[in-house]
Amino acid sequence: MLFNSLTFLVFFAVLLLCYGVLRSWRMQKSLLLVASYIFYAAWNPPFVVLLWISTSVDWFAAKRMHIEERNGRRIALLCVSLVANLGLLAFFKYGGFALENFQNVVGFYGMHFEAAAPDIILPVGISFYTFQTLSYTLDVYLRRSTPSKSLLDFALYVTFFPQLVAGPIVRATHFLPQCLAPRRATRQMLSWGLFLMTLGLFQKVVLADTMLAPSAETVFGWDRGPLAMLDAWAGVLAFSGQIFFDFAGYSTCAIGAALCFGFSLPDNFKSPYAAIGFSDFWKRWHISLSSWLRDYLYIPLGGNRKGRVRTDINLMVTMLLGGMWHGASWTFVAWGGLHGIYLAVERWLRSRFAGARWVHTFVGKVLLGLLTYLLVNITWVFFRADTFTRAKLMIFSMIGVIGDGAQVLATRQLLTVAVVIGVLVIMQWVHRSISIEAAAERLPNWAHGLVWGVMLVFLVLAQGSDNAFIYFQF
């Protein structure tokens, strides 16, 4: 069920009403659990079984792991969890990709192997809930936390509908304690939660889908040769805004929806396009994934504790796998690889120019921030292009090495991209260190109500948009 659908609106209103009527905390949690299964089944009912497999395997594995003292047994239990979760992910997400690459490799050596094309439908959000449940088992294995005492609580943690299909990837240590005592949203929380949902939908439906997606689709869908430099850049900038508003919009909706039931979810974005450098960027973009990769991959690999070369290798491995997490395509791996290179180069530059004063001036920060944003846009080309050929053509068009590129965007689209992206970057710099809550507190009620109302009016005007969120496919 999409947040930006009428079905969800009715589902959410009915659920909120029923949740408010029930008095027993256990009943309320059960209601949320059933509703979450319905939410997921609304896409493809059989895939609910995957949630049950993930939930039951990790529940029993973690429980046994906690009481088991023998290390070998504990490792075996961890392997059961890893194989079950990553196995499902590998089958559904990477099966076709692996087969295609196998065929290419044997073909390279002159052999012919052609298997029937697998007709596998990717279950929505499988990468998100797989990583979420894995963090639980890994935390129990690493003795960072104890297993949940309640299967109901744990099932709700895995399935809680606001974050189920596109995050934030919530840690058990954040969520499970919230299940211990009854949670009821105050009128303040409910109103603020509804505001966040409106803001998230505005970002997704109005800014991403209506304002920016058409330009990005026109440019990346152009298959009749090179593009004019201006159009290529406008398309990439449009995509940078589209993917931010799409994904951040989902996260904001999820946070708002959870708040309406009294639950708190962590932030997933903190003004990423105002980042100064790439280590800063990854503290601001898809925070729940980057912190997951840091805690369960980068640090276990040795992090930065084993020398410069090893640190760079660890960074690269982490980012390549992070790229692969996004999709079964080498273009995503290239996207992750570019970020890995950026991070490694940044580490070197930081050590080389540690004493440079200009870096800490306002102008220096702004210049470095804009450079970061520029380089991030280069990576988006590989993220969005479906082939390396198209990515290469885009890059060449952007740096202007191919003359006579096609002008494909209407002036209206160029202006829209310029205004929306300009305002986005400026707003992110203004709010670089100010939370939305702090900004909201500065507004009088009437102004806040008006801003809210204007966003709702735009949503009413943009009616009928039921485009899926980009990150659902991951």
Three-state secondary-structure class, residue 168 = coil
DSSP single-letter state for residue 352: H
Cα–Cα distance, 285 to 280 (Å, whole number): 9
Residue 224 phi/psi, 5-degree rounding, is: -115, 40
Say whether residue 364 binds another protein (CB under 8 A): no
Provide the β-strand partners of residue 227: 406
Please indicate whether residue 326 is annotated as part of the active site: yes
- Pick the binder of another protein from 87, 118, 177, 182 (CB under 8 A): 177
Instruction: Give me the least distance between CB of 270 and another protein, in Å please.
Output: 4
CB of 82 to another protein, least distance (A): 26
Q: Is 456 in the site for another protein (CB under 8 A)?
A: yes
163 is an interface residue for another protein by CB under 8 A = no
Show the site string, 398-437: x = touches another protein by CB under 8 A, - = not: --------xxxxxxx--xx----------xx--xxxxxxx
Is 439 a binder of another protein (CB under 8 A)? yes
Query: Closest separation between CB of residue 472 and another protein, Å?
Result: 12
Which whole-number Å values give the CA distances from 359 to 74, 343, 352, 411, in the listed order? 48, 17, 13, 37
* Residue 373 near another protein by CB under 8 A: no
Burial readout 23-57 (b: 16 or more C-beta within 10 A, e: otherwise) = eeeeebbebbbebbbebbebbeeebbebbeebbeb
Contact (CB, 8 A) for 48 and 37 = yes
Nearest CB to another protein, comparing residues 74 and 284: 284
Enter the tokens of residue 283: 């503290």
Query: Would you give the binding string for another protein spanning residues 77-116, x where CB under 8 A is met?
Result: ----------------------------------------
Q: Which is nearer to another protein, 264 or 361 (CB)?
A: 264
* Sole window of 52-60, 258-266, 316-324, 368-376 interacting with another protein (rule: CB under 8 A): 258-266
Confirm or reject binding of residue 389 to another protein (CB under 8 A).
no
Provide the phi-psi class of 280: left if phi over 0, else alpha when psi is between -120 and 50, else beta: alpha
443 binds another protein, rule: CB under 8 A: yes
In order of 82, 216, 278, 330, the CA distances from 384 in angstroms are 30, 9, 20, 12
- Please return the burial class of 89, using the count of CB atoms within 10 Å of its CB with bins 0-12, 13-18 and 19+: buried
Does residue 283 bind another protein (CB under 8 A)?
A: no
Nearer to another protein, 294 or 431 (CB): 431
Q: Where in the sequence numbering do the catalytic residues fall?
A: 326
